[in-house]
A and B are shown apart, each in its own frame.
Chain A
Amino acid sequence: MSCSCLELVDPKEVKLDAVLSAYQGKKGVLVPVLQEAQEIYGYLSQEVMEKISRTLRILPAEVYGVATFYSQFRLKPMGKHIIQICLGTACHVRGGAKVLEAIEEKLRIKDGETTSDGRFSLEIVACIGACGLAPVVSIDGDVHGRLIPERVGQILENYV
Chain B
Amino acid sequence: MKQEKGKEKRKILVCAGTGCLSTGALSLIQELNQEIEAQGLTEQVTVVPTGCHGFCEQGPTLIFEPEQTLYVQVKKQDISEIIDKEFKQDLRIERLLYQDPLTGKKTETFANTNFFVKQERIVLQNCGFIDPENIEDYLARDGYKGLMTALKQKSPDEVIEEVKKSGLRGRGGAGFPTGLKWSFCRQTHADKKYVICNADEGDPGAFMDRGVLEGDPHSVIEGMLIGAYGIGSDEGYIYCRAEYPLAIKHLKKAIKDAEEAGFLGENILGSGFNFKLYIRAGAGAFVCGEETALMASIEGKRGMPRARPPFPAQKGLWDKPTNINNVETWSSVPHILRRGAQWYTQYGTEKSKGTKIFALTGKVNNTGLVEVPMGITLREIIFDIGGGIQDNKKYKAVQIGGPSGGCLPESLLDLAVDYESLTSVGAMVGSGGLVVMDETTCMVDIARFFVNFSQKESCGKCTPCREGNKRMFEILDRITQGKGQLEDLEKLEKLARVIKDSSLCGLGQNAPNPVLASLKYFRDEFLSHILDNQCPAGVCTAFLSYHIDNELCKKCGLCVKNCPVNAISGDKHTPYSIDLETCIKCGICVEKCKFAAVVRSGKE
**Which A residues are closer than 8 A to B by beta carbons?**
27-32, 34-35, 62, 65-66, 69-73, 86, 88-94, 101, 105, 125-134, 136, 141-145, 149
Contact = CB atoms under 8 A, between A and B. Distances in A.
Given A31-B300, A89-B205, A92-B449, A132 B361 contact: yes
B583 to A, nearest CB: 15
A30 B301 CA distance: 8
Contact of A130 (B18, B282, B318, B360): B18
Nearest to A30: B300
B283 A72 contact: yes
A133 B586 contact: no
B564 A93 contact: no
A88 B205 contact: yes
A90 B302 CA distance: 28
Interface stretch (B19-27, B113-121, B221-229, B572-580): B19-27
Contact of B22 (A70, A72, A91, A144): A144
14 contacts: A29-B300, A66-B302, A69-B303, A71-B283, A90-B433, A128-B18, A129-B210, A130-B18, A131-B204, A131-B433, A134-B367, A141-B245, A143-B18, A145-B19
B205 A90 contact: yes
A136 B361 CA distance: 13
B386 to A, nearest CB: 11
Contacts of B205: 88-90, 127, 131
B299 interface: yes
Given A127-B205, A129-B207, A93 B285 contact: no
A22 B205 CA distance: 37
B35 interface: no
A137 B301 CA distance: 30
B548 interface: no
B280 interface: yes
A27 B299 contact: yes
Given A105-B564, A126-B453, A132-B361, A71 B285 contact: yes
B204 A90 contact: yes
Nearest to B283: A70
Contacts of A131: 204-207, 359, 361, 367, 433, 435
Nearest to A143: B22
B362 A94 contact: yes
Interface in B229-254: 242-245
Contacts of B591: 149
A69 B285 contact: yes
A133 B437 contact: no
A99 to B, nearest CB: 13
Contact of A129 (B244, B367, B436): B244
B399 A89 contact: yes
Contact of B243 (A66, A69, A94, A128): A128
Interface residues on B, range: 35 or more
Nearest to B201: A129
B297 interface: yes
A45 B19 CA distance: 34
Contacts of B564: 105
A132 B449 contact: no
B83 interface: no
A72 B303 CA distance: 13
A129 B369 CA distance: 11
B368 interface: yes
A143 B361 contact: no
B362 A132 contact: no
B281 interface: yes
Interface in B447-490: 449-450, 453, 459
Contacts of A145: 19, 22-23
Nearest to B58: A132
Interface of B: 18-19, 21-23, 56-57, 59, 201-207, 210, 242-245, 280-286, 297-303, 318, 359-363, 367-369, 399, 402, 433, 435-437, 441, 446, 449-450, 453, 459, 564, 586, 591
A133 B285 contact: no
Contacts of B59: 132-133
A93 B463 CA distance: 30
Contacts of B297: 31
Contacts of A126: 202, 204, 286, 453
**Which 7 pairs from chain A and chain B are nearest by CB?**
A132-B56, A88-B204, A70-B283, A89-B205, A143-B22, A127-B204, A30-B300
Contacts of A73: 283
B19 to A, nearest CB: 5
A129 B284 contact: no
A99 B303 CA distance: 32
Which of B202, B302, B450 has its CB near the most chain A CB atoms (within 10 A)? B302
Contacts of A128: 18, 243
Given A89-B435, A90-B435, A129-B243, A35 B281 contact: yes
Nearest to B213: A129
Contacts of B301: 30, 62, 66
Contact of A93 (B23, B201, B303, B437): B437
A69 B433 CA distance: 26
Contacts of B23: 133, 145
A127 B359 CA distance: 12
B318 A72 contact: no
A31 B299 CA distance: 9
A133 B19 contact: yes
Contacts of A88: 204-205
A88 B507 CA distance: 17
A86 B360 CA distance: 17
Contacts of B203: 127
Which of A29, A72, A91 has its CB near the most chain B CB atoms (within 10 A)? A72
Contacts of A62: 301
Contacts of B449: 89, 92
A89 B441 CA distance: 12
Contact of B207 (A31, A35, A130): A130
A66 B242 CA distance: 16
A127 to B, nearest CB: 4
A143 B16 CA distance: 13
A143 B446 CA distance: 25
A104 to B, nearest CB: 11
A132 B368 contact: yes
Contacts of A72: 242, 282-284
Nearest to A69: B302
Given A89-B449, A132-B19, A31 B285 contact: no
A135 to B, nearest CB: 11
Given A91-B204, A92-B446, A131-B359, 13 more contacts: A27-B299, A29-B300, A31-B300, A65-B302, A69-B302, A69-B303, A90-B361, A93-B435, A125-B243, A126-B453, A129-B243, A131-B361, A132-B19
B242 A132 contact: no
A71 B402 CA distance: 20
A47 to B, nearest CB: 21
